[in-house]
Copies of this chain bind each other. A is one copy, B any other.
Amino acid sequence: MTDEATAFVPGHVTGFFSAHPNDDPASAGSRGAGVTLTDGVRVTVRRREDGARRDDHARRDDERRASRVTLNGDRVTVDPVESVLAEFGVRADRVEITAETPLPVGAGFGVSGAVALGLAFGVNDLLALGRSENELVTVAHRAEVNAGTGLGDVVAQARGGLPIRLEPGAPGRGALDGVPERPSVEYVTFGELSTAAVLSGDTRALTAAGESALADLREKPTASRMVALSRRFAREAGLLTDRVEDAVDDVRAAGGDASMAMLGETVFAFGTGLSDAGYDPSVCDVHTAGAGLVRED
């Protein structure tokens, strides 16, 4: 019997997007484009054999049930986790979830979506649930939408590459394409922004700017154009902070190009844009594969 299962999910930075709410969370989502990263989240799911004995206690204690996730060694609450487990009919106290990541949390890298998706892959394997990849992605996407923590990270993280979200929603509803380049990536983070706060506000200006950027990217889907359109979007949508704008200006002054991660006080660039401008960025690559199980040999 397998006692644990591990999945890796790439980080995902959205460059621009439009929000498409829907009463059906599998059909809700976003259009837009972004970058998946070799910096990602490694999620391990283990059986808790003592879970059954704690039955009554655990059932009464909702807060306890919500916090059975360890992220980089700290107990945390990741909103979509409970709903992923509930969809699979797995009681929260039957599994222990450990996530490790070099990515900052709350800064636009899709960490919550990654935990949800990695959990779906891990639980499916650990408990031999027999779901397909599309089903696992759908469960994680729905959980992320219901939690309000993201609209398009999960489907992008499942795909890998430089994903273009043509149509919103989970597999079978949404549609994806990709930019066929594999540049290296640099990023710096100045702080957090609340995705839920932006998504729950008036998103009309944002969505108009996102739709316009998507149409322009589809005409010529290249990495450099994606960054330029992301920069235009961030300005038009009114999401640039002063620190982010300064860093983007610095990169452009040094001959490169950069934009802002949606949603975080994070600047990303392809190639050596940030280090050429004197920053000390994290460096990684575009993740080619998308989310999947990690085989332990």
Interface residues of A (CB under 8 A from B): 121, 124-125, 128, 130-134, 136, 160-161, 164, 171-172, 175, 177-184, 218-222, 288-290, 292-295
Of A172, A183, A289, the most chain B CB neighbours within 10 A belong to A289
How far is it, in angstroms, between the C-alpha of A218 and the C-alpha of B130 when the chains are bound?
Answer: 9
Q: How far is the CA of A211 from the CA of B293 in the complex (A)?
A: 28
**Bound complex: CA A294 to CA B180 (Å):** 10
Can you identify 6 A-B contacts, CB atoms within 8 angstroms?
A132-B178, A160-B289, A171-B177, A182-B294, A288-B290, A288-B292
By a CB distance below 8 angstroms, the chain B residues around A132 are 164, 177-180, 218, 221
Instruction: Give complex CA distance A272, B295 in Å.
Output: 15
- A290 CA / B292 CA spacing, docked (Å): 13
Q: Is the CB of A131 within 8 A of B180?
A: yes
Task: Tell me the complex Cα distance, A183–B125, Å.
Answer: 12
Among B125, B180, B289, contact of A293 (Cβ-Cβ < 8 Å): B180
Are the CB atoms of B177 and A130 closer together than 8 Å? no
A182 near B295: Cβ-Cβ < 8 Å:
yes
Q: Is the CB of A178 within 8 A of B221?
A: no
- CA distance in complex: A219, B131 (Å): 8
B221–A180 touching, CB < 8 Å: no
Residues on B with C-beta less than 8 A from A125 are 180-181
Q: Which of B133, B220, B288 contacts A130 (CB 8 A)?
A: B220
Contacts of A180 in B (CB 8 A): 121, 124-125, 131-133, 136, 292-293
Given contacts A160-B289, A289-B288, contact A133 B177 (CB under 8 A): yes
A175 touches which of B121, B160, B172, B292 (Cβ 8 Å): B172
Smallest CB separation, A130 vs chain B (Å): 4
- What are the residues of chain B within 8 A of A218 when measuring CB–CB? 132
A-B complex: 4 closest residue pairs judged by Cβ atoms? A288-B289, A133-B178, A289-B289, A130-B220
- Given A132-B164, A177-B132: A292 and B221 within 8 A (CB)? no
| In the bound complex, CA of A294 to CA of B183 (Å) | 10
Q: How many angstroms between the C-alpha atoms of A73 and B248 in the bound complex?
A: 47
Chain B positions within 8 Å of A136 at CB level: 180
User: How far, in Å, is A181 (CB) from chain B's closest CB?
Assistant: 7
Chain B residues within an 8 Å CB radius of A130: 219-222
How distant is A293 from chain B, measured CB to nearest CB, in Å?
A: 5
> From A292, which residue of chain B is reached at the shortest CB distance?
B288
Q: Which of A175, A180, A183, A220 has the most CB of B within 10 A?
A: A180
CB distance from A128 to the nearest CB of B (A): 8
A179, A222, A288, A295 pick with most chain B CB within 10 angstroms: A288
Partner of A182, one of B124, B171, B290, B293: B293
Distance in Å: Cβ of A203 to nearest Cβ of chain B: 26
